[in-house]
Amino acid sequence: MPTAARRPITIFSVLALLVLMVGGAGVLIFSNLRLDGWMRAGVKVPLGQPYTVDLAAGDHVVFYESPLDTLPPDGRHVHLFVLDANGERVRAHHRSVGQDDPENYGPRTLFPTTRVYGRPLWDVRIPADGTYTVRVENDFEEQDAAADRVVFDKPAPQSFRAFSESNRRLTLTLVLAIGAVVVVLYIMHGVTLSRRAQVKAGAPALVPAEDR
């Protein structure tokens, strides 16, 4: 019974397989951990009590996070108070975000390190660098106020949709780079096999001693 011919192996074919497997798994893990890290980041303020936060001057997006996947639909159900050092209130502008809005986030990665759902609910313009007092009151009955929080200073861009897009582009770039390396290694594999064939074809035939 004829046996199947073994595929020729070179160091380049082995390296190509390793790069494809290890590199592909590494990119997948890196992409998911990076996305999960963004969701876990930020200055977290518990509900129901005053909390001091150091904020830089400029525009801030404030997120609402909860272990429950039923989040307040907008900032009118949750009251955010931001007071400067003189007790003057900094106005927070409500956002209306639907349940299926791409700005919403949750434990959708392969390796979630925390189970939290969130969405942006306010835009706040901080007039000057300094320490601000933040207090949050929640009258949205479907929420567990003891477990919920608001979050300042998410990494730029302060948008889950924008960060997801940049993460997707970075992942695609890394995948293409791995693919390019694999292609180069397989080209070297082919060149090596071609040289082997040339050497084998040019080798002198062995003549039995009795025929010499």
Q: Could you read off the pLDDT of 113-149 as tens digits, one per residue?
A: 667 888 899 999 999 999 999 998 877 665 566 678 8
The pLDDT, as a whole number, for residue 111 is: 65
Query: What span, in angstroms and rounded, lies between the C-alpha atoms of 155 and 159?
Result: 9
Q: Could you read off the pLDDT of 43-97 as tens digits, one per residue?
A: 999 888 899 999 999 999 999 998 887 777 666 778 899 999 999 999 999 887 6
Q: Whole-model pTM?
A: 0.76
Q: Which residue has the tokens 């404030």?
A: 62
Q: What is the mean pLDDT of residues 140-160?
A: 80
Token pair of 88 as six digits: 């003057």
Does the CA dihedral 59-65-69-70 come out positive or negative?
negative
Residue 95 in contact with residue 149, Cβ under 8 Å? no
Residue 166: pLDDT over 90? yes
Q: Which of 69, 6, 51, 34 lies closest to 150 in space, CA to CA?
A: 51
Beta strands in the chain (DSSP E): 43-46, 51-55, 58-66, 78-83, 89-90, 92-94, 117-126, 130-138, 149-152
